[in-house]
Structure 1
Amino acid sequence: MLNRPPETRRPAGVGLLVVTTVLIGLSLRGPIVGIPPLIGRIGAELELTGTAAGLITSLPLVCFAVGSPLVALLARRLGLDRTLLVALVVLGLAVALRPWGGLPLLLAGTVLVGLAITVGNVLLPVLVRRDAGGRTKGVMAASTSSYGLGAALAAAVAVPMAGSLGWRGATASLAVLVALALVMWLVRMRRGATGPGGAGSGRGRAGGVGASGAGPAGSAASAPAATSATSGTAAGSAAAAGAERSVWTMPSAWWLALFFGLQAALFYSVSAWLPPMLVDEAGVSEATAGTAVSLFHLLGILGTLAVPAMLSWFGDARRVGLIIAAGWVVLLLGVVLLPGTWLLWVVVGGVAQGAGIGLGLTLVAVRPVDVDYGRSLSAMVQGAGYGLAAVGPVLIGWLASSTDGWALPVTVLVAAAVALGLAGLFAGNERPIGVPRG
């Protein structure tokens, strides 16, 4: 079982942290998942080719892959809190404005959406690690479960809202959740409810992230203390830079990146292609298939919330990883071999995908030896992982159209699920990632 030393944290701060991270999590999937159900309407109005329509849905994953390694650099320069603030502002504006023009604005807005969400993807586990103290796993489960809730809500309401508001109004309305998250984040920053290292601290096991660590106490310090703090900040920046370089050379970090990437590839591939698979294999209507995908996302919440309990019950993240991989296999083979009971397979797969996301982000949060390594590991894992994940939906779509069936695509996805279980045997190791500093 993965256990970390408890860190000092005010209980009230943890409560505010949970509310804030849940609202942020709700905002990190809806702007992506809310587009595919409306892609037919969008394509018809903007006269999009199939390639252009596919680009809209795949651009965020490309942004995740390209932007994730850069987030650590941005966070070290601005500090974690200010970086998240900027990301929420950009996300809200991009979601609200991108539908109200032609294809260029839609694509540009989608790129900004993808980059802003990338910041949240990378820094949310670091924020939880910094500020949750001994409650890291529970807070991480709560915030990660909100990803699934946000995705399920967006998928469920997209078509009904488009019926009354049009696709432009329906997609722009997702900015409301971002605005709520931004308000709570400003409240939290104003109250100073950050980790022991402050908003800008970049050092220590419980410190914050960033280069700037000056605060009220620092301005009142004596000259010798100020000199010491300056030296400490410089040392912290050097240590952070070393952490960013070193995680890319650590096999344990690469196993975690592989686990994360395979989980993400399975999630986005199944999210994109489960509806036509159910229509073809189970003979359900498109409306029923859409409901099945919403259920798939919604049940992910249960899986994510179950991760801390599963880690406690089974005592080992590696066993939990194998169970998650088995759930993916059951979903994929069940839909093809026993399509009449598709609902059962969707339930199993939905819980498995939520648990997979939760376990991956929990490992990113708890395995680094300190916050500097945590920020760098999160950026590396998500950059490499989403690079792998971006290939999944495109590959599965190409295989399905090339072979005119689902046998080969499902075989590839099952192989990915088996590889996920194997990667989890190494990613779930209890050994901390990084070199402790005195």
Structure 2
Amino acid sequence: MTGRGADQRTPALLLAAVLLVGVNLRGAIAAVSPVLPEVRADLGLSPSSVSLVTTLPVLCFAAAAPAAAWFGRRVGARPGISWALLLLAVATVARVLGGPAVLLAGTVAIGLAMTVGNVLLPPVVKAGFGAAAGRVTGLYTAALAAGAALTAALTAPIAGLWGWRVGLAGWALLALAAAVLWRSAAGTADPTGPAPVTPAAAGRGPATGPSVWPHPVAWAVGLLLALQTMLYYAVTTWLPTLLVDRLEAGLPTGAAAASLFQLVGILGALLVPALIGRRRGQVGLGLVVGAGWVVLFAGLLAWPAGWGLWVTVGGLAQGAGVALSFTVIVLRAHDADAARRVSGMAQLVGYGIGATGPLLVGGLYGATGGWAVPLATLAGIGVLYAAVASVAGRPVTVGGPPSVRDGGSAPVGPAPAGGRPATPPGGR
């Protein structure tokens, strides 16, 4: 089938495929936490090995992002996502078929598959949905949160019936379903076409456009994802422990807070598509998200007994923040190829820095013996998030032709003489 034929497929079907891919891009990671005690007891894992099961995929998001961008340039974004879904399905089953080494190797493969989806989905959305790309990006980032909530909620009951191996391996069916729908909706042809293969590194070389690395807005996009990732994983890792320490609460209270944080995040992510089209820039939205993060940490520091309110505000902030982080990748890119390069850079920077969040909080907690310094530090990162968002949210584009790059940026969707907004290159 030609690229033109693929482009003419039903937009609703392509949207459904994008959302189902999004559901798969975090689900296999979130599925592990509910059955970690059983996994550890069965395989005799050490605490450090247990932590690797959840941190290795995030490290892959950073380390493999340039390779994923190169892969997308070589084979095309749409076929690349098809291959990633198949790898995800195979790795989800393979990781439960052996001992610790097999589990960790499968976890790395899962991280690599998800990285390809992380990097290549934004250019597909940019090319496939044109002016609606921002809203579609917000929807599929909501699907990320929904997938994590789904697998976290259902893995334990499945494992209770058939064991943890079936509980984890069963999610391969979801990846296979996404692969089938993706092939039907997106086809095997990439409308932008694979780029000529050159020695240039993903995101750096001039093979298909100017380097995005020197551009301050591209750095702001990467740093926005970095700060969002730091805050999200720090709270996900330490919130239950914090409440147990500060309130002398039981583990059920900590678990309830963690669940509330994740579930409210779905609503936060869904709010972004509704708001994203109201203004050309996203600075105001970024400031609101930053304020939400600050409220979470300041509230837990000043009045931890009110954790239900603070966690609700923080959950809205984290959901909206992850949607905003991926949306600006699409909106700041001049076209689909630029989106591929900005996506690779942003995720290398974002996840590379962001993975340090839990370690930073743990180090401060261990050094001070309390939560005042960690919470104050996280609140400061929330303020920094708002400052970075004021740059990443500006209505400019990165990676355009020389006429667009003069001055380093250009308005998004410049209007032609007729007054209608121009469709982004590669869009419909």
Q: Does 1:422 align with 2:377?
A: no
**Correspondence for 2:365 among 379, 394, 400:** 400
Shift of 1:144: 1.1
The residue aligned with 2:344 is: 379
- Mapping 1:122-271, distance limit 5 Å: 122-190=119-187, 199-200=189-190, 207-211=191-195, 241-242=206-207, 246-271=211-236
2:103 to 93, 101, 106: 106
Per-residue CA distance 1:17-59 (angstroms, 9 max, x = gap):
2110111111111111222233222222222222111112111
Tell me, yes or no, if structure 1 residue 352 matches structure 2 residue 317.
Answer: yes
For the Cα contact (< 8 Å) 1:240–1:372, is it kept in 2? no
Q: What is residue 26 of structure 1 aligned with on the other side?
A: 23
Q: Deviations over 1:314-354 (max 9, x none)?
A: 66411111110111111122223212221111111111111
DSSP-derived class of the 2:284 partner? helix
Whether 1:388 and 2:372 are equivalent positions in the alignment is no
Q: How far apart are residue 77 of structure 1 and its match?
A: 0.9
Confirm or deny that 1:342 pairs with 2:339: no
The reply on whether 1:76 has 2:73 as its aligned counterpart is yes
1:416 Cα deviation (Å)?
1.4
Task: Give 1:397 deviation, angstroms.
Answer: 2.3
Of 264, 267, 285, the residue aligned with 2:250 is: 285
In structure 2, distance between residues paired with 1:340 and 1:55: 32
After TM superposition, give the deviation of residue 137 of structure 1 in Å: 2.0
User: 2:209–2:399: 8 Å Cα contact kept in structure 1?
Assistant: no
Displacement of 1:239 in angstroms is 11
Cα distance, 1:310 vs. partner? Answer: 2.9
Distance 1:40 1:405 in 2: 27
Q: Does residue 36 of structure 1 match 2:33?
A: yes
Q: Residue 50 and residue 250 in structure 1: after superposition, are their counterparts in 2 closer, same or farther (change >3 A)?
A: same
CA distance in 2, matches of 1:43, 1:244: 48
Contact 1:156 1:294 in 2 (8 A): no
Q: Given residue 432 of structure 1, which amino acid in structure 2 is its aligned partner?
A: T
Provide the identity percentage: 39
Which residues of 2 match residues 52-71 of structure 1 at below 5 A?
52-71=49-68
SS in 2 for 1:246: coil
Map of 2:274 onto structure 1: 309
- 2:341 and 2:281 mapped to 1: Cα distance? 24
Q: Shift of residue 404 of structure 1? A: 3.0
What is aligned with 2:334? 369
Provide structure 1 residue ranges, at least 5 long, that are not aligned to the other structure: 1-8, 193-198, 201-206, 213-236
CA gap 1:295/1:12 in 2 versus in 1, 3 angstroms? farther
Counterparts of 1:10 and 1:49 in 2: how far apart (Å)?
A: 50
How far apart, CA to CA, are the structure 1 residues paired with 2:276 and 2:131?
A: 15
**Is the 8 Å Cα contact of residues 122 and 378 (structure 1) preserved in structure 2?**
yes
Deviation readout 1:188-224 (Å, 9 max, x if unpaired) = 244x7xxxxxx23xxxxxx525138xxxxxxxxxxxx
2:11 equivalent among 9, 14, 22: 14
Between Structure 1 and Structure 2, how many residues are aligned? 395
Deviations 1:287-331 (A, max 9, x none): 332233222222222111211333455664111111101111111
Q: CA, structure 1 residues 291+170, in 2 after alignment: closer, same or farther (shift >3 Å)?
A: farther
Give the whole-Å Cα distance in 2 for the aligned partners of 1:161 and 1:398.
36
Q: Distance in 1 between matches of 2:127 and 2:283?
A: 24
Q: What do residues 253-295 of structure 1 show as CA deviations (whole Å, max 9, x unaligned)?
A: 1111111110011111211111222222244432332233222
How far apart in 1 are the matches of 2:87 and 2:205?
26
Structure 1 runs of 4+ off > 4 angstroms? 9-12, 237-240, 242-245, 312-315
CA distance in structure 2 between the aligned counterparts of 1:385 and 1:350, rounded to whole angstroms: 20
CA distance, structure 2, for counterparts of residue 416 and residue 243 of structure 1? 35
Structure 2 CA distance for aligned equivalents of residues 282 and 145 of structure 1: 32
Shift in alpha-carbon separation, 1:313–1:277, aligned structure 2, 3 A: farther
Distance 1:136 1:98, change over 3 A: same
User: Is the counterpart of residue 50 in structure 1 residue 15 in structure 2?
Assistant: no
Q: Please provide the CA RMSD for this pair.
A: 2.5
- Quote the offset at 1:68 in angstroms: 0.5
| TM-score, normalised via structure 2 length | 0.86
Q: What per-residue deviation string (whole Å, max 9, x for no partner) do you get for residues 90-129 of structure 1? A: 0111111202211100000000000100011111111111
2-structure distance, mates of 1:166, 1:318: 47
CA contact (8 A) 1:162 1:169 kept: yes
Task: Supply the AA of the counterpart residue of 1:180.
Answer: A
CA distance 1:399–1:172, shift in 2 (3 Å): farther
Deviation at 1:132, TM superposition (A): 0.9
For residue 407 of structure 1, what is the amino acid of its counterpart?
Answer: A
SS at match of 2:136: helix
The whole-number CA distance in structure 2 between the counterparts of 1:239 and 1:384 is: 13
Q: How much has 1:421 moved relative to structure 2?
A: 0.7
Counterpart residue number, 1:409: 374
> Runs of 5+ in structure 2 lacking a partner?
1-5, 197-201, 404-428
Tell me which residue corresponds to 1:215.
Answer: none
Q: SS at 1:29's partner residue?
A: helix
